[in-house]
Amino acid sequence: MLCPAKVEEAVLRWHSHNAARCEAAGGAQRAADAANAEAGRVGRLCVQRALSTERLSDLNLRERVDEVRFQHSQLDLSKRKLEGELATLAELIERVQIAAEKCHEPLQLSRDCLKIREGREGSEKAADPVTRSLVLEEGKISSAQSNLRRLQRDLIEQQRLLRIAVYQVNKDTSGKEAALSIDKRCLQLSVNSENLTDKLSLSTNKSSTEDQWAWHTEQNLSQADNQVKRSREMRSRAEILLRAACEDICKVFQRTNDAFEKRIFETKQSKQKLEHELAQTTQKIIEVKSILVELEQPIVVNKEHMRLAVTRLNERELRPGIEKCSDQAERQLKKELSQLQSDCDRLEKQHQNSVASLQALQRTCQLLTQELELKALSLMLDEVRCLTHRASLNVHTIFMPQHPKIQ
Please report, in tens digits, the pLDDT of each residue of the chain (407 residues total).
557 777 777 778 777 878 888 888 888 888 887 888 888 888 888 878 877 887 887 788 788 888 888 888 898 999 999 999 999 999 999 999 988 988 888 898 898 888 777 767 544 566 778 789 989 999 999 999 999 999 999 999 999 999 999 999 999 888 888 888 888 888 777 777 777 777 777 666 667 787 888 888 899 899 999 999 999 999 999 999 988 988 888 899 889 888 877 776 545 555 677 778 888 888 988 888 888 787 777 777 777 777 887 787 777 777 787 767 777 777 777 777 778 787 787 877 887 888 888 888 888 888 888 766 665 555 565 576 677 778 888 777 777 654 444 44
Beta-carbon contacts of 325 under 8 Å, excluding residues fewer than 6 positions away, are 319
> What's the pLDDT score for residue 266?
45
What are the domain boundaries of the chain?
68-188+211-267+387-407, 269-315+330-377
> What's the pLDDT score for residue 109?
87
Q: Which of 184, 169, 211 is CA-nearest to residue 65?
A: 184
Q: Which of 406, 309, 299 is CA-nearest to residue 354?
A: 299
Beta-carbon contacts of 119 under 8 Å, excluding residues fewer than 6 positions away, are 374, 375, 377, 378
> What's the pLDDT score for residue 123?
46
Helices (H), 264-393: 272-316, 328-376, 389-392
> What's the CA angle centered on 335, arms 333 and 339, to 5 degrees?
115
Q: Which of 78, 143, 141, 131 is CA-nearest to residue 108?
A: 141
Residue 322's alpha-carbon distances to 311, 319, 330, 333, in angstroms, are: 21, 8, 15, 19
- Map residue 119 onto helix, strand or coil: coil
174 touches 75 (CB < 8 A): no
- Quick one: fold of 68-188+211-267+387-407? Ferritin (1.20.1260)
- Distance between CA atoms of residues 148 and 241, nearest Å: 8
The radius of gyration of the chain's CA atoms, rounded to the nearest angstrom, is 46
Beta-carbon contacts of 282 under 8 Å, excluding residues fewer than 6 positions away, are 365
350 touches 295 (CB < 8 A): yes
Beta-carbon contacts of 403 under 8 Å, excluding residues fewer than 6 positions away, are 239, 242, 243
Buried b (16+ CB within 10 A) or exposed e, 279-303: eebeebbeebeebeeebeeeeeebe
Q: Return phi, psi of residue 42, to 5°.
A: -65, -40
Residue 342's alpha-carbon distances to 204, 293, 336, 338, in angstroms, are: 67, 20, 10, 6
Which pTM value belongs to this model? 0.58
Q: Which of 373, 399, 401 is CA-nearest to residue 141?
A: 399
